[in-house]
Amino acid sequence: MNENGFTQFSTVTVLLLLLAFYGGTYLLTLLIRKDKEDTAGFMVAGHQVGFGMGAASMTATWIWAASFYAAATSGYTYGVSGPIHYGLWGALMILFIYPFGRRFRQLAPNGHTLGELIHARHGPSSQLILAGSNVLGSIISLMVNFTAAGALVSVLSPLSFQAGVLIAGVGVLSYTLTSGFRASVFTDFAQLIALMAIAIVIIPAVLFSAGGPSMMVEGLSRMTDEQASMLSVDAIMNQGAPFFVAVLAYAIGNQTISQRLFAVRKKNIKSTFLTATLGYGAIVIGLGMIGLMALSVGIEPIDGNMNNLIPQMVSTYLPPVFVALFFILVIGSLSSTADSDLSALSAIMMADVYGKNIAKDDPNPKVMLLIGRVTMIVATVAGLIFASFSLDILVMLVFVGALWGSIVFPVIISCFWSRVSNAAFTWSVLVAMLMFCIARFELLEMSGLTVQLFEFLASVGASVVIGLMIFGFFGRAAGLLAGALTLVAMLVFATGFLRDYMVLVASLTAYGTSAIVCTAMTLLSNERFDFDLIKKRVGNYDDIAEENSALIPEGV
């Protein structure tokens, strides 16, 4: 035990656990390594990922370090409904990419990134907005996962925080560098099996060691009325609603999702994403239950740090062997997300930056692969540096979330409405970002007409979110009707009420502003776009290189 009461392993034990995990993962990647890698294989596994591998990879990628700590914090803070609000809406993030994903694959069957599709639709400025948000988001995700590894190692062993960060970074890079996205998908499958097996063991073990279901029932007396209610307004407005709003932002804005969308066989898209939705929701809600157990038995987080809840509960109620399993569980979850971030970053730099903007659709595949691998190394170093400084990432996360919320409407509508112009896309995102910052940081006094304006924009944003979700599954007419009804309901019931939840207002403002600006500028435009051009403009880079070389006369 250390001074905080956690089970603590020796340095040798922790190093052996890490070596076993990362060494075993690296050996797995050697099984799929090719002597001659091509760009399509490195970025999207040749568009041939099957149902099982695809669903496992999607699930493992989105069960990251924050899923553990944030889910438990949600259960501890909001009580009975907390884990559901965290896990359910996070699962819907995966589900709601599916209907729009079918459209993306229809338009660009040989695509590698969503940015390529937007480049073919609008040009470089809109594409680079999307690519830039993904680069920033993936680096922050790397930093969060490496930070979590460092914190876990420092708590459960004599090793320092910096040592844990470095080991995790080098370990993830070692196996991802070999085969890129194919390595990420292949190892995700093995990591998910381990995640599920360990979670199935640890969560019930903590429950029964703490007193079983009767303990949970008795614990209701320790909770406030809000915490004991499944319909807690506090949980809905501070946890559920903001997460629900973020569903489409993460689904559309994150390259790790769209990369899997382009990698999975077209016929398997529906089954893959439906299965991943169920898998993610079940595991993360289960992890959130550990936080609810802590609340039920009256555990106080050591040093007031909510991130200590899960290791504290595991150490308190389980023997060292289970703590070791928990250690592998967290390391596996953060590694599966970190390798996906590296793969996403490499694809963005290979396709969006080099392929489309530097090589101008005349790429050298060898140079592309070199750029992809160098990107992984640079990104890992950047993630390690930022993580070692233990920087406050809240501000950066806020901006990434806003940018992703701002691009949702322009990205989706650009794939269905031929009149949307590059100017409408670009300006709608920029204005939405500005309005988000004003609301989120309350740069203007939120009173009188000002706060009413932002409540109106937020109401429009809510109608956009609901309308797009319904549109994705049931078509344009149903989407427009749902959006209109939501707008009326929000204007009637939310005006004067939403201002008490400015985080939610700010997120909805990003959606509402981008939709208003994009629609207004589009209606003023006479532009028409032929969607068949996207398929012609987005292709396999290896094939393009071969075609271009074939056009060069012999002897030249």
pLDDT for residue 530? 95
- For residue 51, give Cα distances in angstroms to 55, 150, 261, 326, 444: 6, 34, 11, 28, 50
* pLDDT at position 551: 42
Q: Could you read off the pLDDT tens digit of each residue along the chain, which spans 556 residues?
A: 555 566 788 999 999 999 999 998 888 888 877 766 688 888 888 888 999 889 988 888 888 766 777 788 889 999 999 898 888 888 887 888 888 989 999 999 999 999 999 999 999 989 988 888 888 888 888 888 888 888 788 878 889 888 999 999 999 999 898 778 888 888 888 778 877 877 788 889 999 998 888 988 888 888 999 999 988 888 888 878 887 787 778 778 788 888 898 999 988 988 999 999 999 898 889 888 999 999 999 888 877 777 778 888 888 888 888 889 888 888 888 888 899 999 999 999 999 999 888 888 788 888 999 999 999 999 999 988 888 776 554 455 555 666 688 999 999 999 999 999 999 999 999 999 999 989 988 899 999 999 999 999 999 999 999 999 999 999 999 999 999 999 999 999 988 999 998 888 998 999 999 999 999 999 998 889 999 999 999 987 766 555 554 444 444 3
Look over the chain and give the mean of its residue pLDDT values, rounded to a whole number: 86
Q: Is the dihedral of CA 271, 277, 282, 286 positive or negative?
A: positive
Q: How confident is the model at residue 287, as a pLDDT?
A: 85
Q: Which domains does the chain have, with CATH numbers?
A: 11-403 (1.20.1730.10), 417-529 (no CATH)
* AA letter at 542: D
What pLDDT was estimated at residue 17? Answer: 93
* Tokens at 466, concatenated: 């609901």
Reduced 3-state DSSP string for 489-515: HHHHHCCCCHHHCHHHHHHHHHHHHHH
Residue 49 bridge partners (DSSP): 264
| CA pseudo-torsion sign 336, 239, 312, 157 | positive
Show Cβ contacts of residue 329 under 8 Å, excluding neighbours closer than 6 positions: 194, 195, 198, 199, 202
pLDDT the model gives residue 554: 46
Contacts of 80 (CB under 8 A, 6+ apart): 223, 227, 228, 229, 230, 232, 292
Pair 25, 336: CB distance under 8 Å: no
The residue type found at 164 is G
DSSP string, 399-412: HHHHHHHHHHHHHH
* Closest alpha carbon to 185 in 272, 115, 270, 92: 272
pLDDT score of 509: 95
Number of neighbours of residue 465 by Cβ within 10 angstroms = 27
- Distance separating alpha carbons of residues 366 and 505, to the nearest angstrom: 47
CA–CA separation, 121 and 103 (whole Å): 13
DSSP secondary structure of 467-490:
HHHHHHHH-HHHHHHHHHHHHHHH
